[in-house]
Amino acid sequence: MCDDESPRLSVKALARLAAERLAEMRDAGEDVHPVVNATRKLAANFWGRAWMRHLARCEAGGLCLAPGRSLLRHGCVLDLHIAPGQIRALISAEELYEVHLRIRPIEEEQLAALRTACAGRIDSLVSLLEGRVDAAVLDILCSPEDGLLPEPCDWYMSCTCPDWAEPCPHAAAAVYAAGCLIDADPLLLFTLRSVEPAALMSAPAPVATESAFDTAALSATFGIDIDLD
């Protein structure tokens, strides 16, 4: 377990330094996308809340993420981008650090199981993104083991800071900031996991098997021998 210790700089000093760096980057014409969440509630919508609950479970399991929340709330996430299988961020602390998070892709077998579980049970893309589908389906999609939310073992984290902790506070800040972006745009979760929402809304193709035919009954009906071998 980890303690939510105060950083070497006070939170006020960290916030002031982050604001100064952001202003300098913008003055230099850099295209940055800061993520700020100063509220106690880190998410307001279904997928954002699901992401934050998942991180809370990870913290309860011993993953040290609390320092990242503090950095996020004090405006230290100066830039963050979500792409298929990865997150890149610039985090302001005592120095400016580059964070790169990679996520192991969902295996085909797991994706097939999700498709089967969701087939015919999701009315539209809007209802999926808003979390307005059958509760049993949502339980499957948010399952800690087999759902869309990545487990700690799925993360590969790197940061330019000298901290040996995994995750370091800067990587933790990026993970929480990603949840804020997902809260605003749930499609980013599907982008991150390289999953097309349409793949969960369409029924898998039926597989024909010999057991689908009652050869004995057909033979008796038509008075002929039917051999499928």
Q: Residues 173, 166: contact at Cβ < 8 Å?
A: no
- For residue 76, pLDDT over 90 is answered with yes
- 102's enclosing H/E stretch is strand 96-103
pLDDT at 201 over 90: no
pLDDT by residue (tens digit) across 27-36? Answer: 999 999 999 8
Instruction: Delimit the domains of the chain by residue range.
Output: 1-106+150-195, 108-147
Helix (H) or strand (E) holding 87, with range, is strand 86-92
Q: What is the mean pLDDT of the chain?
A: 86
Confidence (pTM): 0.83
Six-digit token string for 151: 């487990």
Q: Where does the chain have alpha helices with state H?
A: 11-27, 46-60, 66-73, 108-118, 125-130, 135-141, 169-184, 187-192, 197-201, 215-222
Question: Is the pLDDT assigned to residue 18 strictly greater than 50?
Answer: yes
